[in-house]
Chain A
Amino acid sequence: MAISPYNRKFAIAVATGWIIWASLGYRLLADFGAGSLAALSDSMLSNALLFGGCFLISNNMRYYLPGKEKYWYVLLLGVIVTLLWMTMLRLSLPFLLSDDKQYVAEFYASLSIRMAVGFLVITSSTLLSLIWYTQQQEQDQAARKQETDQAARDAELLQLQNRLQPHFLFNSLNSVSALTISDPGKARDMIEQLSAFLRGSLQKEHRQWSTLEEELDYLRLYMGIEKVRFGYRLQTEINCDESTLQMRLPNTILQPVVENAIKFGLYDTLGEVCIRLTAQNSNGFLQIEVSNPFDQVTAVPRKGAGFGLASVRRRLFLLFARQDLLQTEMTDTLFITRILIPQI
């Protein structure tokens, strides 16, 4: 149901309209020689009934808006209510003022012009309410659509953010299991790191933004765990301008990028792998580059497995409405992922 236009302001406007309309009617009747009592009662009563009819129609539209045949509906309703109004006038005024013979004669003589005016007023008010309620309905729909869109977007963002790789989790637990035998102290450290990492990915659920400094702390945890898993094979290097540390970026957006780089680097090459992350302020954008070594020959089939990067790109698009914020580049031996974060 649409929002009703009936409030104090509206009531005052209607009352004013009624008074103006009634005074005009009074003036008209007086001009045609009706007595003041007759002119007054006629104009007040007929206009009250007319406005009542209009109110009836508009109230009716509040619950039912015609769909397809709206113009026929307006016309039909106008005719019916006009006839109803005329009947009521004919049944009331001549009897109320039956003493005034001249008035009664004039009343019957003016029926057609009364009908024309009444029809005009009623149909225009019908049209007005039709427009009002249609607009209300559209606004309602637009608001609802926006709400559902927002909800869907939030859900998608949350899902993109919370993607935790089961492979990573179980392999890390397996490493902990191994360390409990060979190095219990290190096992304890690893459990602590893993817990901090998991807590981070759970806690930040509802936070959309963090600073680069926070993000790097989170990344170091992640890289630390991966280093325990892969031992000497995995090296990491982080280089950031001091000025970038307080710049903002979508929460946990870098972790899938680094995860992709580590996976790509480790599974596409043999031997040692160095993952480099650099951050700099580039014309007010936070620019982050993550690079990993790769093998040109076998890299092609791996391209499809870039779900991590696809989800990052999708998230950047949902947040900034731009498709060009994540770019990848391949040199002879390095695969580079470059992300630009607008600072808004």
Chain B
Amino acid sequence: MKALIIDDEPLARDIIREYLTSHPSIEVMQECSDGFEGIKAIQQHQPDLIFLDIQMPKINGFEMLELAEYVPKVIFATAFDEYAVKAFEAHAVDYLLKPFSRQRFDAAVQKLMAEGPSREQVPAAMEAAAKSPDQSNRIVVKDGGKIRIIPITQVQYLEAADDYIKIHTADGSFLKKKTMQFFEETLSAAQFIRIHRSYIVNANLITRIDPYEKEGHLALLTTGARLPVSKAGYARLRDALGI
């Protein structure tokens, strides 16, 4: 079984490697000290299992998984992260609280090898954890081969595009595989408003709202973009802007 250890603290990686000596069936392909390395290593080694820290430089463990080619079996390890722990517990994902004992580690590995969180459990936990302050402040996307971290303040509007969401910023637009509902829930409702089935807009950028056809409206942004506003969206917009 191929495995990766992804943690920014060298000693934290050491301890996992040490505990793994009693599991000869698991081979550590690489140790990574941040999420970027992690994404590359997942692509390169196609591991069956990863040991993943949550708090890491630049992007956290959940964001790394969002960007990874696929989600292998994951054993999360965190010292203290209320949001993450809540998410794990809500979705029956096993996790290790640092510092952990060898017995606890062995139990987690055995449980995972026996059944393992199914494909749905880890992504569900990821979605739940995305409500943490960290992730509601930024969106990480893949931009060609590179990874881009978009501060929420730079997002102009979001547009639904099939299974993806198109994130429009001053530097261009980026695709991310998420749902409109996800962003509606995670982004600050005061700043981002769902004005249409397919549009969420940064309310700070709206300069004008014009009537359009019957019952509809058009929102004009400072950037020049014109976005359709549905009837329900118009009500939400009026609520949020206090008009």
Contacts and interface: CB of A to CB of B under 8 A. Distances in A.
Contacts of B24: none
Contacts of A171: 9, 12, 79-80, 98
Residue among A174, A230, A231, A298 with most chain B CB within 10 A: A174
Nearest to A179: B11
Contact of B137 (A167, A169, A266, A301): A301
Interface stretch (A117-125, A235-243, A267-275): A267-275
30 contacts: A166-B80, A170-B97, A170-B99, A171-B9, A173-B99, A174-B9, A174-B12, A174-B99, A175-B9, A177-B98, A178-B12, A181-B15, A181-B18, A231-B10, A231-B11, A233-B8, A267-B57, A268-B57, A269-B58, A270-B34, A270-B36, A270-B57, A297-B151, A298-B149, A301-B137, A301-B151, A301-B152, A302-B137, A304-B133, A305-B137
Contact of A267 (B36, B58, B138): B58
Contact of B79 (A167, A230, A269, A305): A167
Contacts of A179: 11
Nearest to A181: B18
B146 to A, nearest CB: 12
B152 A178 contact: no
Interface in A18-70: none
Contact of A268 (B10, B33, B58, B79): B58
Given A170-B79, A171-B9, A182-B14, A297 B149 contact: yes
Contacts of B118: none
A300 interface: yes
Contacts of A229: 9, 11
B153 interface: yes
Contacts of A228: 11
A176 interface: yes
Nearest to A273: B57
A230 B137 CA distance: 25
Contacts of B56: 267
B133 A305 contact: yes
Contact of A266 (B36, B57, B98, B99): B57
B78 to A, nearest CB: 9
Contacts, number: 91
B55 interface: yes
Contact of B8 (A177, A181, A230, A268): A230
Nearest to A230: B9
A181 B14 contact: yes
Interface string A155-169: 000000000001101
B151 A300 contact: yes
Nearest to A186: B11
Interface string A294-318: 0001101110110000000000000
Contacts of B10: 230-231
A126 B56 CA distance: 75
A173 B9 CA distance: 12
A297 B34 CA distance: 18
Nearest to A267: B57
A322 to B, nearest CB: 29
Contacts of A231: 9-11
A298 to B, nearest CB: 5
A321 to B, nearest CB: 31
Given A170-B80, A298-B138, A178 B58 contact: no
Interface string B115-138: 000000000000000000110011
Given A270-B57, A298-B138, A301-B138, A175 B153 contact: no
Interface in A172-220: 173-179, 181-182
B12 A269 contact: no
Given A300-B151, A301-B138, A304-B133, A175 B11 contact: yes
Contacts of B151: 297-298, 300-301
A301 B153 contact: yes
